[in-house]
């Protein structure tokens, strides 16, 4: 795939560029065939410094193209790119992202703030990429030429990819999710080492309600310019564990059509995701793979599947109370954050929905 499919490379900026997700954006955008990273922004604490001086870099080798960029303030008036990836802290993301959208920019956000607003798409491209059409409703409602597009909470992303093929074929009725979430999900520096080493913390602030409400929107249907939420029941329990990257989700579910494990496995293996995402640069060949190994998926072995964009599902078996249970694993800062956002931008590019330069 080359830039020829969408014309010349488009200039993009990253807000929150110094944080955990911001750094993943920088790595993924460094050699992107369609986008050129030209600006980075963060808080006033970092603004004015060279990127390499302001950032505690944790993503391998820092791309040379970003090292000397001077960090800007996260203000629309300071950023010239029309396409902006946001990895801002949720305490400030809400207002800043609105400022950028009302200034005509397309904001691809990782923050929770706007996800559940009825005219804001909450999208995992292979699952519900058609929901991106909501930005037409958003522009009409809000009278701005820009837009805000969000990707889901990182654990909700893993769970939604894993159950989407089953929901589409058998109709979810009840869903129990129990997560084991990596420390990188808390940003940098995140959880104190003395709290997490050798430990499990059975609480992540606001995480359970986020999972419960986002699953309904992600697996909902777009009808007449609005999302009709999924009508199943969801209960989530979330835990922070001493893993660097990769959220694991134990799933138990019941369905209208009561699939057997073999029927579920066939549906999971056959699922390729929405057609319009096939061939996009950040889309893995398989958004979901099923492992037959009894002791997988495991973060250490499976988190980098599909360059961090593939969700691995295993242990698909009958449940003693509901119909099925299984385990899913995905990379939280790639599939669950920056990589998902870049894939959203690619799908917007091929659907002709990027703002003019």
Ligand X SMILES: NC(=O)c1ccc[n+]([C@@H]2O[C@H](COP(=O)([O-])OP(=O)(O)OC[C@H]3O[C@@H](n4cnc5c(N)ncnc54)[C@H](OP(=O)(O)O)[C@@H]3O)[C@@H](O)[C@H]2O)c1
226 to 118, 126, 132, 137: CA distances (angstroms):
7, 19, 11, 8
The alpha-carbon radius of gyration of the chain (Å, integer) is: 19
Considering the complex, state which of residue 6 and residue 334 has its C-beta at the smaller distance from ligand X: 334
* Stretch touching ligand X by CB under 6 A, among 32-40, 125-133, 180-188, 248-256: 180-188
The question of whether 154 is a catalytic residue gets the answer: yes
CB 243 within 8 A of CB 299: yes
Minimum CB separation of residue 340 from ligand X in Å reads 8
Minimum CB separation of residue 199 from ligand X in Å reads 19
Collapsed DSSP state (helix, strand, coil) of residue 302: helix
Tell me if 337 contacts ligand X by CB under 6 A: yes
Tell me if 92 contacts ligand X by CB under 6 A: yes
Q: State the number of binding residues for ligand X (CB under 6 A).
A: 30
Minimum CB separation of residue 146 from ligand X in Å reads 18
C-alpha span between 220 and 210 (Å, rounded): 15
Q: What is the DSSP string of 95-139?
A: HHHHHHHHTT-EEEE-SSTTTTSTTS-B--HHHHGGGGGHHHHHH
**What are the tokens at 188?**
């940098």
Sign of CA dihedral 64, 303, 33, 162: negative
Tell me 306's DSSP state. Answer: G
Pairing between β-strand 172-181 and β-strand 233-241 as defined by DSSP bridges: parallel
The question of whether 250 is a catalytic residue gets the answer: no
Tell me if 87 contacts ligand X by CB under 6 A: yes
CB 149 within 8 A of CB 109: yes
Out of 150, 333, 341, 344, the only residue in the binding site for ligand X (CB under 6 A) is: 333
Considering the complex, state which of residue 19 and residue 273 has its C-beta at the smaller distance from ligand X: 19
Which residues, numbered 39-68, are part of the site for ligand X (CB under 6 A)?
Answer: 42-43, 45-46
* Stretch touching ligand X by CB under 6 A, among 14-22, 231-239, 307-315, 318-326: 14-22
- The residue assigned the tokens 């894993």 is 162
C-alpha span between 179 and 237 (Å, rounded): 6
Considering the complex, state which of residue 18 and residue 128 has its C-beta at the smaller distance from ligand X: 18
Considering the complex, state which of residue 243 and residue 268 has its C-beta at the smaller distance from ligand X: 243
Would you please indicate which residues are annotated as catalytic (active-site) residues? 154, 247
Q: Which residues bind ligand X (CB under 6 A)?
A: 16-22, 42-43, 45-46, 74, 87-90, 92-93, 110-112, 154, 184-185, 187-188, 332-333, 336-337
């Amino acid at each position: 795939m080359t830039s020829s499919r969408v014309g010349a490379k488009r200039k993009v900026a990253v807000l929150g560029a110094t944080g955990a997700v911001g750094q993943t954006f920088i790595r993924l955008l460094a050699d992107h065939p369609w986008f050129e990273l030209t600006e980075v922004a963060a808080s006033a604490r970092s603004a004015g410094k060279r990127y390499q001086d302001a950032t505690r870099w944790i993503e391998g080798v820092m791309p040379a193209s970003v090292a000397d960029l001077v960090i800007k303030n996260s203000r629309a008036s300071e950023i010239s790119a029309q396409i902006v990836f946001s990895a801002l802290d949720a305490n400030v993301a809400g207002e800043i992202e609105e400022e950028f959208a009302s200034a005509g920019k397309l904001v691809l956000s990782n923050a929770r703030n706007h996800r559940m607003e009825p005219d804001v798409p909450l999208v995992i491209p292979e699952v519900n990429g058609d929901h991106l059409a909501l930005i037409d409703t958003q522009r009409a409602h809000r009278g701005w030429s820009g837009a805000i597009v969000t990707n889901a909470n990182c654990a909700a992303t893993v769970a939604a990819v894993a159950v989407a093929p089953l929901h589409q074929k058998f109709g979810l009725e009840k869903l129990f999710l129990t997560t084991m979430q990596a420390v990188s999900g808390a940003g940098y520096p995140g959880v104190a080492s003395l709290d997490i080493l050798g430990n499990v913390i059975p609480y992540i602030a606001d995480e359970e309600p986020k999972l419960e409400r986002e699953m309904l929107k992600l697996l909902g249907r777009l009808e007449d310019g609005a999302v009709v939420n999924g009508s199943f029941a969801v209960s989530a329990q979330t835990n922070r564990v001493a893993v660097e990257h990769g959220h694991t989700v134990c799933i138990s579910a019941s369905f209208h059509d009561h699939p057997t494990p073999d029927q579920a496995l066939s549906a999971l293996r056959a699922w390729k995701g929405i057609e319009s995402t096939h061939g996009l640069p950040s889309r893995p060949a398989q958004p979901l793979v099923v492992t037959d190994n009894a002791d997988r998926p495991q973060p250490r072995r499976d988190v980098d599947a599909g360059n961090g964009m593939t969700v691995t599902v295993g242990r698909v078996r009958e449940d003693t109370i509901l119909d099925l249970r299984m385990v899913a694993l995905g990379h939280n800062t790639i599939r669950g954050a920056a990589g998902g956002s870049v894939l959203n931008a690619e799908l917007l590019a091929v659907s002709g929905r990027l703002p003019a330069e």
